[in-house]
Chain A
Amino acid sequence: MEIYNFMVYSWTAAILTGLACSLIGVIVVTMGISFIGVCMSHAAFAGALAGIIFHINPVLSSFIFCFIVAGILGPVSDKGELKPDTSLGIVFSSSLGLSFLLLPLIPGSKSEGLRFLWGNILTVNNNDLVIVGVVSLLVLTFVIAFFKEIQILIFNRIIAIASGIHAREIYYMILFLCGAAITASIKAVGGLLVFALIVNPAAAAYQITYDLKKMFLLSSFFGIASGCLGLVFSFSLNIPAGAPIALCSVLIFILATILSPKRRYRGR
């Protein structure tokens, strides 16, 4: 019965993390702000370390750190005083620096902290599944409810604003949901590898279709497939699941690029 629960938890976590990350990934990849995934994942890692040190639930502290980063990145990009890659670079290096500062401060073994860096989908529990389930549902609801606004934001943010769309609010929601999706996935996939699940499935779908709806569907499929295939390799080779999940998503991206109808179109 215990083995059955462990299997169910792992497969459910693979599906839900794949879904949440790949859906939000479509938005950040098409908006050209993929690096936000790296920023958020490192902020989440720093948050988890702070949680361990100060005896707060690491997932909760990761959420708080990601939301702080989202709260910084939103206004900075609004004011346009810094280029997005510059502001992302500053936030990324701050998160990384903070992580390196916090890691040695963990009392005793560092393995609890490093668990959030590498992740282990085989250790997720009921609470983790509830969190990733709620976040997946939130991301899915957001994509369905604001699909037309997302479409025009992806097209051009200035035109979205000029059309009278609530562009700023929706952009902030994207940042917060990106942080939430990464935090919810960090225990399963790890702070380093969660970026792969944000970018690769969406980038693979980007190679295949010009239709945003199909892109969301394809990216979700690729994200879930990466999670499940990675888990199969993890079980069969007896290795941690994060790496095979990330590598499966890379493989899917390579296949999508080779078979891309867009590539054929450009080649003509």
Chain B
Amino acid sequence: MNKITIENATVVRGNRVVLNNISFSVEAGEAIAIYGPNGAGKTTLLNLVNGLLFPVEGKVVVENIKVNPSTARSIQLITGYVPQNFEIDPRTPILTGTVVLSGCYGKLGLFHYPDKSIIEKAKKIMSKLEIDHLFLRPFGQISGGERQKTMIARAMMQEPEILLLDEPFSSISESSKEKIIEIIRFWKKEKNLTLLLVSHEKSIIEKLCGKVVYIDEGKIVLQEKADGNL
């Protein structure tokens, strides 16, 4: 059964067509890499899936729900999103532990706060990613790699059915990459996660994904198995 279906989706920003009549589908538990040059529309494609953007033509269906402004929130609750590294003022008053905990804020709902068991769970996830010592450290003061690990931990706190990873390893050291790939593979298998990964690193794609979708200038130019065959 398809977890994600994108049908003839076109996204326009200003005068520029960012995605042009894109169609593809992802089955439940499948892991797909989105590959292509800078500005090809990879991040836009991820944002279509979690309802941060909507197509001007065509449709996106996630879990049999058509993604539109009124259904976006229900999609976002089941979708873990790890964005590209972003700039943040080092003085921003938010602790790394709070960023991880925020993954479950949507599911907790209004007026409910994380209890002891949720905090323990956050610390456990952080410990697996070897960042538990950063729980009380301001997020703005940790390194780029630590921030990416924090964002992965935040996405996992959300207990997602779909995991969207946008260049999640770009600042992570080579020694840590292998371990995190193993952790994501374990989570994927344990929770039957559907995974969409945007990455420039072919070695990571081969380890995590079964299929690659090549995008260039907003169009899908090729779909193949991660080992080069389809």
Contacts and interface: CB of A to CB of B under 8 A. Distances in A.
Given A155-B102, A163-B102, A211-B95, 11 more contacts: A151-B102, A154-B94, A155-B88, A160-B102, A161-B52, A161-B76, A164-B74, A164-B106, A165-B105, A210-B140, A262-B91
Interface in A248-268: 262, 265-266
Contacts of A158: 52, 83
Given A148-B105, A148-B113, A155-B99, A163 B93 contact: no
Nearest to A155: B94
Minimum-distance CB pairs A-B, first 7: A164-B106, A164-B77, A164-B76, A210-B138, A162-B81, A152-B102, A163-B106
Contacts of B59: none
B15 interface: no
B91 A164 contact: no
B98 interface: yes
B86 A210 contact: no
Contacts of A140: none
Contact of A159 (B83, B89, B92): B83
Given A145-B111, A158-B83, A163 B158 contact: yes
A156 to B, nearest CB: 7
Interface size class of B (residues with CB under 8 A): 35 or more
B103 interface: yes
A166 B105 CA distance: 10
Contact of A151 (B94, B103, B106, B110): B94
A176 interface: no
Tell me what chain A mostly uses at the interface: helix, strand, loop, or mixed.
helix
B103 A212 contact: no
B52 A154 contact: no
Given A162-B76, A163-B76, A154 B92 contact: yes
A209 B76 contact: no
B73 interface: yes
15 contacts: A145-B111, A148-B105, A151-B102, A152-B102, A155-B99, A155-B102, A155-B139, A160-B102, A162-B76, A164-B105, A165-B106, A166-B73, A210-B140, A262-B91, A265-B141
A165 B154 CA distance: 14
Given A162-B50, A163-B102, A165-B105, A30 B93 contact: yes
Contacts of A266: 90
A155 B92 contact: yes
Tell me what chain B mostly uses at the interface: helix, strand, loop, or mixed.
mixed
Interface of B: 50, 52, 73-74, 76-77, 79, 81, 83, 86, 88-95, 98-99, 102-103, 105-108, 110-111, 113-114, 138-141, 154, 158
Contacts of B139: 155
Given A206-B93, A210-B91, A262-B91, A149 B73 contact: no
A227 B113 CA distance: 33
A163 to B, nearest CB: 4
Contacts, number: 82
A154 B138 CA distance: 13
A163 B103 contact: yes
B79 A166 contact: no
A148 B102 contact: yes
A146 interface: yes
Contacts of A30: 92-93
A212 B93 contact: yes
Contacts of A265: 141
B70 to A, nearest CB: 12
Interface in A1-59: 30, 32
A194 interface: no
A198 interface: no
B110 A146 contact: yes
B161 to A, nearest CB: 13
B197 to A, nearest CB: 16
A229 B89 CA distance: 32
A215 interface: yes
B94 A163 contact: no
B89 to A, nearest CB: 8
A158 B88 CA distance: 13
Interface in A202-251: 206, 209-212, 215
A106 B182 CA distance: 73
A206 B91 contact: yes
B92 A166 contact: no
A166 B77 CA distance: 11
A156 B105 contact: no
B138 to A, nearest CB: 4
B103 to A, nearest CB: 6
